[in-house]
Amino acid sequence: MSRRIEIFDTTLRDGEQTPGISLNVKEKLEVARQLEKLSVDVIEAGFPIASKGDFNAVKTIAENVRGPVIAGLARANFKDIDCAAEALKAAARPRIHTFIASSPIHMKYKLKMTEEEVLEAAVAAVKRAKSYVEDVEFSAEDASRSDVEFLCRLYEAAIKAGATVINVPDTVGYTTPREFGKLIRALMERVPGIENVKLSVHCHNDLGMAVANSLEAVACGATQIECAVNGLGERAGNAALEEVVMALDTRKDFFGFTHNINTKQIYRTSKLVSTLTGVAIQPNKAIVGANAFAHESGIHQHGVLAEKSTYEIMTPESVGLTTNRLVLGKHSGRHAFAQRLKELGYELAQDELNKAFERFKDLADKKKEITDMDIEAIVEDQVLKWPEHIELEYFQVSTGNQSIATATVKVKIDEEVVEEASTGDGPIDAAYKALERACNINCKLVDYSIRSVSSGKDALGEVTVKVEKDGRTFLGRGLSTDIIEASVIAYTNALNKTMFSNGNGKAREVI
Ligand code: KIV
Ligand code: ZN
C-alpha cells in the first residue's frame, strides 16, 4: 500500500513571521477554516507565548476548527509549554510542538548551552508537553547543520520521553536535496524507535530548494512535510504547500505516495492568504501564479488546442481554477447569483448573501460582464469586513497637472460626523491626509499597491495599503471600479483597524 504523506501547514505560525505580515484573530480563523476545507492534516495555529494576539488566535482556532490537528509552538521551557497547553485546551486534537536548537553554532552563540544541557532541556520539555497532550512534536532547530551523532542521540531521547513526531528543520535553507536525503536515511537507520513515530521535515527556501529538499526527504522516508501557503515564512519563506502537494499529486507515478489534500481548494486558499496578508503572488509562481496555466507562444497555444497534455501537466481545474470566466450580468437575479456562489464553493449566511448581492448589483450597473474573479473579490471583501467604526460618507477630489490636488472627506466615527479637507501631492495623498485629520489619527503609509481584479477598462481595482502605527502594521483593502474610491476605502479600512484592532501586531519576543 502506498504511504500517505501528512501535510502540516505553518502559514499561521512560520508564515505569519514573514516581514510585514500581521493577521488579527478573525483573519487567522478565516485562514484556519479554509485550511480545514483544504483538508490539511495539521494546522500550526501560532506561537502562544509570543503575544496576546498569538495566544488568542491559537485558542480561537482550537475552539472552532475541529477537523485537523491543531498545533501550538513552544520553546523547550515550561513557561512556553504551559502557555501552549492553555491555548490548546479546547482543541479536539491538540499537539504541542516544542523545539530547541541543536547545531554547534546555535548552541554556542544563541543558547550558550552544551550538548548535554540541550539534551536535558529537550527531554524535560517533551515530558512536560506530554503531561498535557498525547501528541507531542519535537524539533531540533537547525538540524541540517547539526552533528549527526548528537542529532541521533537527541531524537532518541525525545522519542523515549514521549515525542510522537520528530521534526528535522533546515532552519536556514542551507541543505541540498541529496545531502538532506542522506540525513533522513541516516536518522532512519540510527535512531532507535524512529519507526514508531512520524518523521517530519521543515525546509526553508533561502537557496530556493525548500520544495526539492522536502520531496527528497519523503522519498527517503519522511512522512510529514511542513509547509506554508504561497511559500510564506521567515526570510525567503518555507516550502510552498501548493508546490509540494501538486508535485506529489502530479508525479504520483514517480513518488508513489498519497495525500489527503483537496487540491481543488488550493487556488482559493492561496488567494485568501494573499488577500489577507497583502503579499502579492508573483505572476510566474508555480501552481497559483496568474501565468501558471497561461500559454503565450503560438507553438504552445497550437499544441494545447490540439491536445492539452502537450504542454499542460496538470489541469487548472485540479487546483480549483474555474474556466467559466464570463458568468453573470446586469439582468442576473438573486437565484443565479446564489447558485454561482455555491458552485464556487461559498456558503454564505442569508444576511451576508443579501449584502453580497447588493454589491453585485451595484457592480453590474458599472461593469458589463461580471466574472468569477469579480464575484470572489466581492464575497471576500464582504466576509472579511471588519465592524466599521469609521464609515466613509463621501469624498471629493480635485486634481490636474497644473493645479494643487485637494480632497474633502466626510466620515462618520461611530455617531459623530466629521468633515475635513486637505491638499496633497496628488489626489490620493490629499484624500489620505484629509482622512487622517478627520479621524485624528497619525500613522505612516508604508505600502500601497493596486491591481485589477479582472481585465478590461471597467475592471474592479483592488487597492491594498499598509500603515504603521505605534510599531504595529495594519492592512487595509478597498475594491471599486474607480481607483481613487478604492484607495480611499482601503485607507479608511486600515484606519478602522488602527483604532479598534485586536490584532497582534509584531510585538513578539525575540527567540
Ligand atoms: O525553521 C525552524 O527551525 C522552525 C522551528 C521552530 C521548527 O521554524
Ligand atoms: Zn521555520
Q: Is 14 in the pocket of ligand 1 (CB under 6 A)?
A: yes
Predicted local distance difference test score (pLDDT) of residue 510: 32
Q: Is residue 287 part of a domain?
A: no
192 CA → ligand 1 middle, Å: 23
- State mean pLDDT over 243-272: 97
Between 61-65, 245-249, 304-308, the lowest mean confidence (pLDDT) is in: 304-308
Predicted local distance difference test score (pLDDT) of residue 345: 75
What pLDDT band is residue 349 in, cutting at 50, 70 and 90? confident
What pLDDT band is residue 323 in, cutting at 50, 70 and 90? low
- Of all atoms in ligand 1, which is nearest to the CA of residue 226? 7
- Tell me: do 444 and 330 sit in the same domain: no
- State mean pLDDT over 401-414: 94
Q: Which three cell numbers stand for residue 453?
A: 481584479
Q: Is residue 511 part of a domain?
A: no
- Tell me: do 206 and 242 sit in the same domain: yes
For residue 149, how many other CB atoms are within 10 A of its CB?
Answer: 11
Q: Is 202 in the pocket of ligand 1 (CB under 6 A)?
A: yes
- Tell me: do 377 and 397 sit in the same domain: no
- Of the segments 18-32, 335-349, 366-380, which one has the largest average pLDDT value? 18-32
Three-state secondary structure call for residue 473: strand
- Tell me: do 197 and 259 sit in the same domain: yes
Residue 504 has pLDDT above 50, yes or no: no
172 CA → ligand 2 middle, Å: 8
Q: What share of the chain is helix, strand, coil (3-state, %, to 5)?
A: 45, 20, 35
- Tell me: do 251 and 337 sit in the same domain: no
- Tell me: do 313 and 330 sit in the same domain: no
Q: List pLDDT tens digits, range 439-461.
A: 999 999 999 999 888 777 788 89
Q: Is residue 58 part of a domain?
A: yes
Last residue of a domain, one of 383, 411, 431: 383
Q: How many domains does the chain have?
A: 4
Residue 488 has pLDDT above 90, yes or no: yes
Predicted local distance difference test score (pLDDT) of residue 502: 45
Between 154-168, 288-302, 406-420, the lowest mean confidence (pLDDT) is in: 288-302
What pLDDT band is residue 500 in, cutting at 50, 70 and 90? low
Domain region containing 330:
321-383
Q: List pLDDT tens digits, range 15-64.
A: 998 887 888 898 999 999 999 999 999 999 999 999 999 999 999 999 99
Q: List pLDDT tens digits, range 141-153.
A: 999 999 999 999 9
Predicted local distance difference test score (pLDDT) of residue 505: 40
Q: Ligand 1 pocket test: which of 144, 204, 226 has the largest number of ligand atoms within 8 Å of its C-beta?
A: 204
Q: Is residue 462 part of a domain?
A: yes
Predicted local distance difference test score (pLDDT) of residue 237: 97
- Tell me: do 313 and 339 sit in the same domain: no
d(Cα 194, Cα 188) in Å, to the nearest integer? 6
Predicted local distance difference test score (pLDDT) of residue 370: 84
194 CA → ligand 1 middle, Å: 20
Q: Is residue 257 part of a domain?
A: yes
7 CA → ligand 2 middle, Å: 15
Q: Is residue 510 part of a domain?
A: no
Q: Which three cell numbers stand for residue 475?
A: 492592512
Give the residue among 162, 233, 153, 237 at the shortest CA–CA distance from 190: 153
Contact 210, 239 (CB under 8 A): yes
| Cα–Cα distance list, 27 to 24, 37, 71, 88, 276 (Å) | 5, 16, 18, 18, 7
Torsion of CA 102, 106, 109, 114, to 10 degrees: 0
Q: Is residue 335 part of a domain?
A: yes
Q: Is 141 in the pocket of ligand 1 (CB under 6 A)?
A: yes
What pLDDT band is residue 506 in, cutting at 50, 70 and 90? very low
C-alpha 309, offset from chain centre: 31
Q: Is 169 in the pocket of ligand 1 (CB under 6 A)?
A: yes
Contact 24, 52 (CB under 8 A): no
Give the residue among 154, 213, 169 at the shortest CA–CA distance from 73: 169
169 CA → ligand 2 middle, Å: 7
d(Cα 50, Cα 443) in Å, to the nearest integer? 25
- Tell me: do 435 and 378 sit in the same domain: no
- State mean pLDDT over 320-335: 74
Question: Is the whole-model pTM more than 0.85?
Answer: yes
Predicted local distance difference test score (pLDDT) of residue 334: 86
For residue 451, how many other CB atoms are within 10 A of its CB?
Answer: 12
What burial letters (b/e) apply to 287-299, b meaning 16+ CB within 10 Å? bbeeebbebeeee
Q: Is 205 in the pocket of ligand 1 (CB under 6 A)?
A: no
- Tell me: do 267 and 148 sit in the same domain: yes
Q: Which three cell numbers stand for residue 172?
A: 536556514
Q: Which three cell numbers stand for residue 496?
A: 478602522
- Of all atoms in ligand 1, which is nearest to the CA of residue 139? 7
Please provide residue 264's backbone torsions phi and psi, each rounded to the nearest 5 degrees: -65, -10
For residue 213, how many other CB atoms are within 10 A of its CB?
Answer: 29
Q: List pLDDT tens digits, range 189-244.
A: 999 999 999 999 999 999 999 999 999 999 999 999 999 999 999 999 999 999 99
Q: Ligand 1 pocket test: which of 9, 14, 201 has the largest number of ligand atoms within 8 Å of its C-beta?
A: 14
- Tell me: do 356 and 401 sit in the same domain: no
Predicted local distance difference test score (pLDDT) of residue 296: 66
Beta bridge pairs of residue 198: 165
Average pLDDT, the chain: 92
Three-state SS for 58-116 is: HHHHHHHCCCCEEEEEEECCHHHHHHHHHHHCCCCCEEEEEEEECCHHHHHHHHCCCHH
Judged by its nearest atom, the ligand closest to the C-alpha of residue 511 is 1
Q: What is the CATH number of the domain that holds 154?
A: 3.20.20.70
Three-state secondary structure call for residue 309: helix
- Tell me: do 309 and 230 sit in the same domain: no
Torsion of CA 495, 501, 506, 507, to 10 degrees: 120
- Tell me: do 326 and 255 sit in the same domain: no
Q: What is the CATH number of the domain that holds 397?
A: 3.30.160.270
Predicted local distance difference test score (pLDDT) of residue 221: 98
d(Cα 52, Cα 71) in Å, to the nearest integer? 17
Q: Is 171 in the pocket of ligand 1 (CB under 6 A)?
A: yes
Q: Is residue 285 part of a domain?
A: no
Residue 509 has pLDDT above 70, yes or no: no
Residue 386 has pLDDT above 90, yes or no: no
Residue 479 has pLDDT above 60, yes or no: yes
d(Cα 60, Cα 57) in Å, to the nearest integer? 5
What pLDDT band is residue 344 in, cutting at 50, 70 and 90? confident
Q: Is 139 in the pocket of ligand 1 (CB under 6 A)?
A: yes
Predicted local distance difference test score (pLDDT) of residue 309: 81
